[in-house]
A and B are shown apart, each in its own frame.
Chain A
């Protein structure tokens, strides 16, 4: 993780305009859900996982950071100097969720077009294709590309002009596990070259072993940002361990454990316990238990959210169903 800050976003906000037709004004719009007062510091070479449920505002925030949506509130700065939207766009490479590249155009023509839009050389555009593994398919038409190839092309376009920050919106959607693994390795190597990466997902597991820090977004607000450990600690999260044994733990031993979950099947006994029992493994081995699983269980997104918001699982679920990016606190009074 780098100490140098690539970009700083201070109290940024944006609210979508929702059609609200009235008989006297059929084009009337009102302000709806959006992003509210988000402060985010992006260190150089760090991979940040932006995590939130559907409708939390991840895509909106990423679009703001990429300069697609205006910063209605707050500002973006670098080294204390405020950035105008065009400067912001030139520093950020954006990869949207599942672009359906389709036309008779070839990869070469597409990259050339975006090199012109980006203002970078054609040679650098071709070099990027080598990075994303499309160099051998440079003269293939977009129609012939698989979904994985299309994702790679989107990443290639985002990498044009050597951006300092790479913004990826649900990049793993539609990719098979092999492609996801290759993609993660590619992102890691980019981060090691000093490119900061902001990556959104609604699955924490997808970000495993990839991100340095996690930013937790809910209802348009950034609830927490830090390493998984620091988040767990700051949110008062107990670390959990899952163990699967061949038989039941005797009461004398289980009394000293805080068992959170216990599932008993014919062949195995699965426990989820609070971590922090240093002698437990040794004790189980001494008593000839067959241990088929022993792993630290990462908190799920819903658990992190419950912990961060103080809401219970059912209430959070209702929120997600209503897909409400409505801020937890009101922004500047009235809706309209």
Chain B
């Protein structure tokens, strides 16, 4: 059997184990509520949104519903992967894994792909379901190109959070620290980022009182490149008309590539020097 095939089998087994784990069963209703549930809500023809925003097409509705990915999808990725390494460290299995001849970078890919696939698969299915729900409820169908971009962007943001969680798990000596690291990071990017952005904008003399102010939007857009959720939204915005936040589509793609490569590199580096 080739090394690639062995990696695939290992990742498949890990993904399957995580997919049917108790925690996934607990998270599934939350994912259902946040992903297709939000799509259903935003697809309501009589919806009343702040600032009189009315989604004009299915892509815009999906954009609004992407908050479900930001809140529930990324949280689920963190909860799935937060003990990917620390659990084995606590039980002593990590020592056995590290003594195996399969190179650690290959083991790292197995860990990432296994954990990521277990959350990516249900989220992808729920996203597709959301698209059908929007079409059914509002009679607006998302173009195939937009659908592909939305799914890929969601998969990427889940991958980033999975790698963060695994990285935290590799640093933490026990489960408590691992979950504190992972949830802390999720909390920072998901909830505290607005505060951070506003604070920095105010320090830079940007009018933070008016969130529709172009100066603020551009400042926020650029700062969002430093956040995985921000880059995710930039990727989604490449499919929307009339969005000007100071970041081009190319800039968003480059940021996405960087957010993929850098954490992966850091994780692989960490794995190479990992001691039980």
Contacts and interface: CB of A to CB of B under 8 A. Distances in A.
A69 interface: yes
A269 interface: no
Interface string A109-126: 100111011110000000
Interface residues on B, range: 20 to 34
13 contacts: A63-B276, A94-B99, A96-B96, A99-B91, A101-B93, A112-B13, A113-B10, A113-B13, A116-B9, A116-B102, A117-B10, A158-B96, A161-B101
Interface in A83-139: 86-87, 89-90, 92-103, 105, 109, 112-114, 116-119
A42 B96 CA distance: 21
Contacts of B91: 99-102
B180 interface: no
Nearest to B8: A116
Given A97-B92, A101-B91, 14 more contacts: A86-B103, A89-B101, A94-B95, A94-B99, A109-B13, A112-B13, A117-B100, A118-B102, A119-B1, A119-B101, A119-B102, A154-B96, A158-B96, A161-B101
A109 B17 CA distance: 11
Contacts of A154: 96
A100 B90 CA distance: 8
A99 B95 CA distance: 9
B92 A69 contact: no
Interface in B102-116: 102-103, 107
B92 A96 contact: yes
A71 to B, nearest CB: 13
Contacts of A116: 1, 6, 9-10, 102
Interface string B1-34: 1010010011001000100000000000000000
Given A100-B91, A117-B107, A66 B101 contact: no
B101 A118 contact: yes
Contacts of B275: 63, 68-69
8 nearest A-B residue pairs (beta carbon):
A90-B101, A99-B92, A94-B99, A117-B100, A96-B95, A89-B101, A100-B91, A66-B99
A278 B13 CA distance: 67
Given A96-B92, A98-B92, A99-B93, A68 B99 contact: yes
Nearest to B272: A70
B97 interface: yes
A43 interface: no
Q: Helix, strand, loop or mixed for chain A's interface?
A: mixed
A211 to B, nearest CB: 22
B87 to A, nearest CB: 9
Contacts of B54: none
A36 to B, nearest CB: 18
A157 interface: yes
Contacts of A100: 90-92
A63 B95 contact: yes
Q: Helix, strand, loop or mixed for chain B's interface?
A: helix
A166 to B, nearest CB: 12
A130 B90 CA distance: 28
B101 A68 contact: no
A97 B96 CA distance: 10
A67 interface: yes
Contacts of A92: 99
Contacts of A94: 95-96, 99
Interface string B68-104: 0000000000000000000000111101111111110
A308 to B, nearest CB: 29
B5 to A, nearest CB: 9
Contacts of A157: 96
Interface in A189-231: none
A297 B102 CA distance: 46
Interface in A40-90: 63, 66-69, 86-87, 89-90
Contacts of B102: 116-119
A179 B17 CA distance: 32
A54 B90 CA distance: 20
A57 B96 CA distance: 19
Nearest to B102: A117
A98 B91 CA distance: 9
A105 B96 contact: no
Contacts of B9: 116
Contacts of A89: 99-101
A99 B96 contact: yes
B162 to A, nearest CB: 20
Given A68-B98, A112-B13, A114-B100, A119 B6 contact: yes
Contacts of B3: 119
Nearest to B106: A117
A147 B241 CA distance: 63
Nearest to B276: A68
A22 B262 CA distance: 27
B95 to A, nearest CB: 4
Contacts of B10: 113, 116-117
Nearest to B5: A116
